[in-house]
Structure 1
Amino acid sequence: MTAPADVSPGDFRAVLGSYATGVTVVTTRAPDGEPVGLTVNSFTSVSLDPPLVLFCLDREAGSLPAFETADGFAVNILSADQAAVSNRFADPQAARFDGEGVADWSTGAPILADALAALDCTVHARHDGGDHIILVGRVRRLAVLSDDEPLIYWRGVYRKLG
C-alpha cells in the first residue's frame, strides 16, 4: 500500500473551491440572549429520518463559545441578492445584525427575515473535526421564505445561477 501524498492547505482549498456551494448565515443566541451569527458554506443535509443537517465551525471563530453552549441554531439560506449580508456576517468587526429583520422560531435562534429559506434546529451532536467543530442539528421547523434564486460560492467568488 502506498503512503498518501502530503496535501498542502493551499492545494486542498483550491480543489475544494471547485465545488460550488450555497451560502448560509448560521445563527444562535449567546447565554446573555445576544444574537450571534456568521457566514457558513460548509452546510449539508445528513439524514431524512430524523431530519438532520450539519455545519462546520472554525475553532478560532469568535462565535464558537456561543455555539458550544447553545441548545439550538438556525441555518438561513441566502438568496442571490444577499452577498452584502454574507459579507457582513463574515466580517468579525461588523455589527452583523444591524438593520437585519429577524424572527424567533422555536429555538430562539434568529431567523433572517429576507433569507431564501431557513431551518430551525436543536443541537443533536457536536463532533471533533480537526481545526473545526462539526455541529449536527435536528430540524424542528423549516420554511422556504422566497422564490428568489440562491447565492452561490465558487472558486472564491459569489455567483448566480444561469
Structure 2
Amino acid sequence: MNRASPAPARAFSEHQFRDALAQFATGVTVIAARREDGRFVGFTANSFQSVSLDPPLVLWSLSRRSLSLPAFEAAERYSVNVLASTQSDLARRFSRPHIDRFEGVGYRLGWSQAPLIEDCVAWIECSRHARHRAGDHVVFIGNVETCARGAGQGLVFHEHRYATTRPL
C-alpha cells in the first residue's frame, strides 16, 4: 500500500502570496443584493470572473469573516456592477466597513431587485447557482439572467492600487 507523502511546508509567506497575486491585473466590481429586511448590501470585489458561456455562469468570492456573508448566502439574486475607470471612489467606498455604502450613490433596481449602480461599464444580474466553501472564502456561482454594457473603460486593480487601461 502506498502512503501519500506529507504536504511540504510552505516556502512563502502570506505577504509574498499577496504580492505575487498583485501582479495579476483584475477588473473591479461592486456585488450587491437586497437583504431579507429590504435594505441593500454590497462590497467591492475583484474576485469576479466568467465561468461558462453555455449556460452563462459567473463567479466571485467573499471572505468567511465578512459581515455581509449571511446576507449574500441568503440572497437568491444579486447584481454585479463592473466599475468604470472614473469610479475608484466608489470602489473605496464599498470597501469600507460600518457605513451605509449606498448613501448618495445613484442606482436603479433591475430584474434582481438589487442595485444597478449608475455609470458602470457593465451590469450583470444573477440568480444563485451554487455556493462552495474554499479556504477562508465562500465562492458564489451565479446564473446570468440579464446583462448590459455601458460606455467607457473599466477600472483595474493592479499592484495593490487602482489603475486604468490604455490600448496598446
The two structures have a TM-score, normalised by structure 1, of 0.95
**How far is the alpha carbon of 1:3 from its aligned partner?**
5.0
Deviations 1:95-149 (A, max 9, x none): 210111111111211111221111000010000111000000000000012x211
Deviations 1:8-41 (A, max 9, x none): 2111111001000000000001110101000000
**How far is the alpha carbon of 1:2 from its aligned partner?**
9.3
2:61 aligned partner: 56
| Rounded Cα–Cα distance in structure 2 between residues aligned with 1:126 and 1:95 | 26
Deviations 1:41-72 (A, max 9, x none): 00000000100000000011111110010001
1:41 aligned partner: 46
Q: Tell whether 2:130 aligns with 1:133.
A: no
Secondary structure of 2:129's counterpart equals: strand
Letter in 2 for 1:75: V
Please, which moves more after superposition, 47-56 or 92-101? 92-101
1:11 aligned partner: 16
Please, which moves more after superposition, 75-84 or 105-114? 105-114
In the TM superposition, structure 1's runs of 4+ consecutive aligned residues that sit over 2 Å from their partners are 1-5
Q: Cα 1:2–1:62, aligned 2, differ >3 Å: closer, same or farther?
A: closer
Number of aligned residue pairs: give it.
Answer: 161
1:159 aligned partner: 163
Runs (5+) with no aligned partner, structure 2: none
Runs (5+) with no aligned partner, structure 1: none
| Rounded Cα–Cα distance in structure 2 between residues aligned with 1:83 and 1:53 | 23
The two structures have a TM-score, normalised by structure 2, of 0.91
In the TM superposition, what are the counterparts of 1:19-98 in structure 2 within 5 Å?
19-98=24-103
Letter in 2 for 1:82: Q
Letter in 2 for 1:48: L
